[in-house]
Structure 1
């Protein structure tokens, strides 16, 4: 039985996967990578939704702000009283060429996991609350960059925010970075579930009476995990699940059914 036939069986008849034990290692590994990508679906869905929200916000911000530039290390615009504050569920954005806001004041306004971005009169500010993910990555909860320290202040303009709101290239880049950064941890967690589950199932199922080696049990369990992987990937888009536990328990259940079916034929 080839990989595609095993895949169909894993969805339609997950108790008929015994022949997976004979699948070559390379094909099994590629299938493992495939299921790892499937497990990333909930994160990718959340990322795409977040990027859509972010781009929509950037479009609104760009529409509200006037044309501006950085001149003599200061935020400059021809319009008077052009400062404004834009709030969302995750971000405070301040455009303040009039010198009303300060970095300290900007940080005091944020709560929870929100971030604050400020184009102030003399500096660019990125602030967050203590203990947030961003603060742990930056090793500070307030990043202040004076315009004089920017290598090319001309990059910061109204067009820059317009491009953030419309560019599909930026979205694809972020999605690719998410896949690359999370693929490793997802595969490690999935591999642990497979090997730990296969070890337990191999010892308790009577697989030794069929002459199965542990590596063959891992292959069987890999294909037996297909249905729970797809279930967790789809359901995980809508709510949080104990993904590893579900995959391991359901896969072991199918594995026991597969082994019992083979033992009956002997």
Structure 2
């Protein structure tokens, strides 16, 4: 299998040998390719984690002393009128006077990763609307009244201490990679199936003796170079149609494989 991976860069005609590989190894290689495609996204997610950590520390420096009394936000300084503080990834609202609403916190989120509000009588966290957040929360907004036992002991000192000392654990990066891997593998698999369909049409037209199953194995290894090029481009910009590029480039490489096969057949005749 290692020789096939090397051949996928320079010796395309050798990829014909992929048809002899066990199907399990081919599936395993699809996950490897999916992992390569996931790297740029995982890198950007890790950058977001870092930004959130840094921004959280900035917010901690601005956060005034407060306590929760009678299920309401109570600043230690009675002259504290509240504020809105914006960073690159977070908009934080401190509103002990009750001037802002849950809807305001969500509206603030435009262009930001998180919008967090310590309102007069509740904590509001608004997140980008995704399938995962909607499935878990039923909405992209989490609202917790201060009457909840978990928030009754909330105060400014503990939040500042937590934000200043807390670091993103290493396993969060691993989780981000694994979560990103699933859609990458599924999308790649669908692309490879379409490429296999195109490859099978080519073999029918050229009357070469390759089954659809064998074509699929060859296509998987033919996708190696397109996948790596796509990953490199995604490190620069995510605004790139990777699906179409991988499909067309893979079929081009597959075409080189079958061309070599056809020439050999003609010589033997």
Q: Deviating runs (4+, > 6 A) in structure 1?
A: none
Shift of 1:214: 1.3
SS at match of 2:235: coil
Query: Aligned partners of 2:61 and 2:214: how far apart in 1?
Result: 60
User: 108, 111, 129: which one pairs with 1:133?
Assistant: 129
1:140 and 1:222, CA in 2 relative to 1: closer, same or farther beyond 3 A? closer
User: Contact 2:61 / 2:160 at 8 angstroms: preserved in 1?
Assistant: no
Shift of 1:199: 1.8
1:243 paired to 2:239: no
Shift of 1:93: 0.4
1:192 and 1:101, CA in 2 relative to 1: closer, same or farther beyond 3 A? same
Shift of 1:191: 1.1
1:64 paired to 2:67: no
1:49 paired to 2:54: no
Which structure 2 segments of 5+ residues have no match?
none
Query: Aligned partners of 2:263 and 2:194: how far apart in 1?
Result: 26
Query: Aligned partners of 1:155 and 1:15: how far apart in 2?
Result: 66
Query: Aligned partners of 2:162 and 2:188: how far apart in 1?
Result: 38
> In the alignment, what sits opposite 2:87?
88
1:171 and 1:56, CA in 2 relative to 1: closer, same or farther beyond 3 A? farther
Equivalent positions of 1:46-195 (< 5 A) are 46-82=44-80, 83-96=82-95, 98-99=96-97, 101-103=99-101, 106-107=104-105, 110=108, 112-114=110-112, 115-127=114-126, 133=129, 137=134, 138-140=137-139, 143-154=142-153, 158-160=157-159, 162-164=161-163, 167-170=166-169, 172-173=171-172, 175-195=173-193
Query: Aligned partners of 1:166 and 1:6: how far apart in 2?
Result: 48
1:89 and 1:28, CA in 2 relative to 1: closer, same or farther beyond 3 A? same
Shift of 1:14: 3.6
Query: Aligned partners of 2:110 and 2:241: how far apart in 1?
Result: 25
SS at match of 2:115: strand
Shift of 1:42: 2.4
TM-score, with structure 2 as normaliser: 0.82
Query: Aligned partners of 1:122 and 1:46: how far apart in 2?
Result: 35
Which of 4-13 and 214-223 deviates more?
Answer: 4-13
Query: Aligned partners of 2:229 and 2:122: how far apart in 1?
Result: 48
SS at match of 2:125: strand
Query: Aligned partners of 2:220 and 2:160: how far apart in 1?
Result: 46
Which structure 1 segments of 5+ residues have no match?
none
RMSD: 3.0
SS at match of 2:171: helix
Query: Aligned partners of 1:223 and 1:179: how far apart in 2?
Result: 23
